[in-house]
Amino acid sequence: MELTEWLLAPGERGNSATRLDSRRSDGVAWSRGNLVRPLVHGATYFRELLRAIRAQRAGDLLLFTDWRGDPDERLDGPGSEIGRVLADAAERGVIVKGLLWRSHLDRFQFSEEENRHLGEEIEAAGGECLLDMRVRPGGSHHQKLVVLRHVDRPDLDVAFVGGIDLCHNRNDDATHRGDRQSLRIAAAYGPHPPWHDIQLAIHGPAVGDIETVFRERWEDPAPLTRSPFVRLRELAHGEDTEADRLPPQGPDPSPRGTQTLQVLRTYPNRLLRGYDFAPDGERSIARGYRKAIGRARSLIYLEDQYLWSPHVVECFAEALSANAGLRLIAVIPSVPEQDGRLTLPMNLIGRITALDRLRRAGGGRVAVYGLENHAGTPVYVHAKVCVIDDVWASVGSDNVNLRSWTHDSELTCAVLDETVDPREPRDPAGLGDGARAFARDLRLELAREHLDLEEPPAPHLPDPLCDPAKAFDAFAASAAALDAWHDNGRRGTRPPGRLRTYHRPSLSRTTKTLCTPLHRLLIDPDGRPFGLRRRNAY
């Protein structure tokens, strides 16, 4: 397999200012020899993160970025509140540095106060946490990463990347009963919203790439905000607004596994002054997706919080039109997180148009599902996962929409495994690439949970879900059985599985007319330069 057929070659990132593609002596735009493990569910991730932080010693380095951080969110029971865990690390001499999105005001259901309080707790303990508002108007820093480096124990070096914030609602597990520390979202999800999410644990040379992502933002000389009102708040609260110097970056960790990993990002085209490391922004997530989707022949498996914007899904639609055997499975929230009289249709309008475009292209080869737990409560799908033909897989903070591909800061990891999976079909796409162990195992792990299937008795035994057509049919059959049980008044034994068929919502013509411009302006803005917008290029 030629890696350049799936991954962005040097020069294809579209951002020559970053160090990511020039930091290796071999000149490649990715790192090989990594051990990458999916941590499905917040509870799984939080437990592992807690153990890793508590194992750090004086002189070790802890770097993190986040969209929202709630200092009282427990990682694993009382005494494991994230603010306390990070403060404890700083007090025992760990170098703790954080970048939190400053956030819009709490009155608009954001996290300005929570993020400030987490930063204050870390600073009081001797760490440093900056509130970063270097975004486009209406934008956010949405990256979620933690990097742990160890001065004299490099074998412990690890990076965590994905969609899970260090905040309320995220600490859920496979039962999907929800986090006891909850934030209100749409009423359909109840008082403790069930939450489906995923993070990657990365060991090996790619840890150095993730650290570089943090360092580029930390060392950006631009002020943390351009707003005079925010600067007054900084003064009033005595906030730290100047990033202290980091210790020099150490050598990348030694190879640990068989996965090749490419770091993909979004940074917007900021007006007046951009980022030093991305003067015109970066849209390598969009470019990486579009390149990989161009090789899709058998199955695209998506889990996504949004899946909207006809501009973004056009590359999926083109692939479906060009390849008659290509199928698409998408797992999305049954109901958007906002259910207000105005916010609900503002959220739905982009999904309606995107799904209409996909179904025009693929017809019955496009299947879209929501999830519910065994109590019948919808599960909020916050995961951001894409698996193409059991070869290429991505996990990150980005959703399939214009905001994530062009406007906010995002971070995702594309993974290609050197290990070929021996189970049939060995080459689902028929292009000679062969199914790869990481991508296939990730898809099967997620599918088994949604179908309520046990793990196979041994790895590499025949598994009908390996076959894309059989997996597509298994999802359809499971959802149909559960839908029928609900339609029949929930009489009798509940069928196994958690999948519910997603039915296209309908909006009146008047609502569409009113909400479409609001959706484009507020919900799914475009952060590209005007020339790229005109060409729908990235």
Residue pair 288/21 in contact (Cβ under 8 Å)? The answer is: no
Q: What superfamily in CATH does domain 35-256 come from?
A: Endonuclease Chain A (3.30.870.10)
Tell me how far apart the alpha carbons of residues 122 and 127 are, in angstroms, rounded to a whole number: 5
Q: What is the 3-state secondary structure (H, E, C) of 249-316?
A: CCCCCCCCCCEEEEEEEEECCCCCCCECCECCCEEHHHHHHHHHHCCCCCEEEEECCCCCCHHHHHHH
pLDDT tens per residue, range 9-27? 989 999 999 999 999 988 8
List the structure tokens of 447.
């599918």
List the structure tokens of 387.
């698996």
**282-532 fold:** Endonuclease; Chain A (3.30.870)
Task: Decide: pTM greater than 0.75.
Answer: yes
pLDDT tens per residue, range 123-163? 999 999 999 999 999 999 999 999 999 999 999 999 999 99
- pLDDT for position 457: 64
Where do we find the tokens 């160890």? 150
What phi and psi values does residue 389 have, to the nearest 5 degrees? 55, 30
Would you say residue 107 has pLDDT above 50?
no
Picking from 456, 465, 449, the residue whose alpha carbon sits closest to that of residue 498 is 449
Would you say residue 110 has pLDDT above 50?
no
pLDDT tens per residue, range 230-282? 777 777 777 888 999 999 999 999 999 999 999 999 999 998 778 999 999 99
- Among 71-75, 376-380, 504-508, the least confident range: 504-508
What phi and psi values does residue 188 have, to the nearest 5 degrees? -60, -25
- pLDDT for position 114: 65
List the structure tokens of 110.
């954001």
Residues above pLDDT 90, as percent of the chain:
88
What distances in angstroms separate CA 352 from CA 59, 140, 309, 311, 316, one per listed residue? 52, 24, 9, 13, 15
- pLDDT for position 102: 83
- pLDDT for position 55: 98
Please spell the DSSP secondary structure of 46-74, one letter per residue.
HHHHHHHHHT--TT-EEEEEES-B-TT-B
Of residues 353 and 113, more confidence is placed in: 353
What average pLDDT is seen over the chain? 94
Picking from 184, 182, 187, 154, the residue whose alpha carbon sits closest to that of residue 169 is 182
Domain positions in the chain: 35-256, 282-532
- pLDDT for position 211: 98
Please spell the DSSP secondary structure of 391-441, one letter per residue.
TEEEEES--SSHIIIIISBEEEEEEEESSBP-SSSS-TTSSS---BHHHHH
Q: Is 308 left (phi over 0), alpha (psi -120 to 50) or beta?
A: beta
Domain 35-256 shares a fold with domain 282-532: yes
